[in-house]
Structure 1
Amino acid sequence: MKWHHVQDNWPAFFEAILDRWPDADEAELEEIDGDQRAFIAYVIELTGQEPEEARADIREWLSGELPSDVVMDPRHDNHSIALSKKYVPEGEDEYDDDSRFGDEE
């Protein structure tokens, strides 16, 4: 993921941040408000890491998956649907209407 995903959806990342850095404080995260430099400084303060080590830790964290409630646009949804093809039995279309499953009226 890119930092702009984090910045644009900052509160949605609190759970992922708290999972990665359990000593983080939600009130302090709110104050950071998606500012990358402030977050790096916070991780340095929180962990006692050297700046480059903290940046590497954050880069590794960014290589993970986006939280499911972050990207809510059709392009992402369609991409996810296309990837689900491997779980759909042969001969069925992953884009088919799923109303028979009760998801749609």
Structure 2
Amino acid sequence: MKWHHVEENWPAFYEAIQEKWPDVDETELDDIGGDQRAFIKYLVDVTGQDNAEVKEELREWLRGEIPSDVVMDPIHDNHSIALSSKYVGEGEDEYDDDARFGQDDDVRNDGD
């Protein structure tokens, strides 16, 4: 992901940020408002790491996928669906509607 994704959806990333850096405070995140330099400075203060270590940790974190509940757009969604194909069983299509789980040829009558 790119920093602009984080900045544009800053509050939506709080949970992911707190998961990666458990000592951060949500009130402080509000004050930072998505400013990358302010966030790095804050992480230096909170973690006790030096600036270079924090920047490397942040770069590593940004290499991850955007959480699906943060950015909802067809291009990103389709990319995420394609990546999920490795978890879909052989012979199934990752783009199929998953409203009904189980085999496609399994017919279940809930009225019985």
**Interval of TM-score (by shorter of Structure 1 and Structure 2):** 0.7 to 0.9
Q: Does the CA-based 8 Å contact 1:12-1:67 persist in structure 2? A: no
Quick one: which amino acid aligns to residue 68 of structure 1? S
Q: Does the CA-based 8 Å contact 1:43-1:54 persist in structure 2? A: yes
1:3 aligns with 2:3: yes
In the alignment, what sits opposite 1:23?
A: 23
Would the alpha carbon gap of residues 40 and 79 (structure 1) be closer, same or farther in structure 2, given more than 3 Å must change?
same
1:3 Cα deviation from its structure 2 partner: 0.6
1:96 Cα deviation from its structure 2 partner: 3.8
Q: TM-score, normalized by length of structure 1?
A: 0.81
Q: Which runs of 5+ in 1 are unaligned?
A: none
Deviations 1:5-64 (A, max 9, x none): 110111111111111111110000011010000000000111121111111111122122
Give the superposed CA RMSD: 1.9
Q: Which stretches of structure 1, 4 residues or longer, exceed 2 Å deviation after superposition?
A: 80-86, 92-99
Q: TM-score, normalized by length of structure 2?
A: 0.77
Deviations 1:47-95 (A, max 9, x none): 12111111111112212222221120011112223334441441x4433
Where in structure 2 are the equivalents of 1:45-56 lying within 5 Å?
45-56=45-56
Q: Which runs of 5+ in 2 are unaligned?
A: 102-112
Over the matched positions of the two proteins, sequence identity in percent amounts to 65
Query: Aligned partners of 2:85, 2:61: CA distance in 1, in Å?
Result: 27
Greater C-alpha Rg: 2
Query: Aligned partners of 2:45, 2:20: CA distance in 1, in Å?
Result: 15
In the alignment, what sits opposite 1:77?
A: 77
Is the partner of 2:59 in helix, strand or coil? helix
Tell me which protein shows more helix as a share of its residues. Answer: 1
Quick one: which amino acid aligns to residue 35 of structure 1? D
